[in-house]
């Protein structure tokens, strides 16, 4: 008869009460939990982390970033806002004096502060001391290029110079709008796609005084 065989199989599969939780063998819970955890990591957690790392605050069409009380610029659509505030979103403290975006591996930072002098004098000060550069000291960045005259979209002139580093290259530009000095730092790899370079150049041209009619 099959009775003894059934009894032996039942005995082999029977789980004592002290090893059961919600009717399941405690020994199987950990492997099952690991499977669920790995599934959650793959489906939800990793994509969420990737999304936050790649784009935390994407720039949309029409966004204008204001720096301090007197300066603004227009980032390229799809850039990531790293620091600063959009026009119309200032808090009680107003707009910070620094704003930065990243796009295509390039970081574009604008710093505005009170300054009495010319753009050439401001750039010369940065070139002489390198204290104005916010890039890390261990990156070995030094202003090496000769100053050249540049113009923004509304016709104000500034000056710019290249700087080199061990891990990349960049451009530092200086404008003076009234009594506000503006420093623009562009840092990126030694080679970027032409499309990225054009968009970064457009961002540089968009740096202008608040209230400009360009």
Q: What is the pLDDT of residues 23-77, one digit of tens each?
A: 444 454 444 444 444 444 344 444 444 444 456 899 999 999 999 999 999 999 9
- Rounded Cα distance between 160 and 142, Å, is 14
Give the C-alpha distances (Å, rounded to integers) separating 165 from 6, 120, 139, 162, 170. Answer: 77, 22, 6, 10, 8
- Rounded Cα distance between 60 and 19, Å, is 56
* pLDDT at res. 36: 42
Query: Which tens digits make up the pLDDT trace of 79-93?
Result: 999 999 999 998 889
**What are the boundaries of each domain within the chain?**
3-54, 65-209
CATH of 65-209, one of 3.40.50.620, 3.50.50.60, 3.40.50.2300, 3.40.1000.10: 3.40.1000.10
């Amino acid at each position: 008869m099959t009775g003894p065989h059934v009894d032996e199989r039942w005995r082999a599969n029977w789980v004592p009460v002290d090893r059961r939780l919600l009717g399941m063998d405690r020994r199987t819970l950990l492997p099952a939990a690991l499977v669920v955890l790995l599934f959650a990591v793959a489906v939800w957690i990793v994509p969420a982390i990737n999304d936050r790392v790649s784009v935390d605050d994407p720039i949309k069409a029409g966004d204008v970033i204001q720096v301090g009380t007197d300066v603004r610029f227009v980032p390229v659509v799809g850039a990531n806002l790293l620091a600063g505030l959009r026009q119309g979103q200032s808090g009680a403290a107003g707009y910070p004096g620094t704003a930065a975006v990243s796009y295509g591996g390039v970081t574009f930072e604008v710093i505005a502060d009170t300054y009495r002098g010319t753009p050439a004098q401001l750039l010369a000060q940065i070139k002489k001391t390198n204290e104005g550069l916010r890039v890390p000291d261990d990156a070995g960045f030094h202003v090496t290029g000769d100053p050249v005259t540049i113009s923004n979209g509304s016709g104000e002139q500034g000056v710019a110079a290249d700087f080199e580093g061990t891990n990349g290259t960049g451009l530092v530009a200086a404008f003076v709008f009234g009594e506000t000095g503006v420093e623009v730092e562009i840092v990126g790899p030694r080679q970027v796609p032409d499309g990225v370079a054009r968009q970064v150049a457009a961002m540089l041209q968009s740096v202008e005084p608040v209230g400009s009619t360009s």
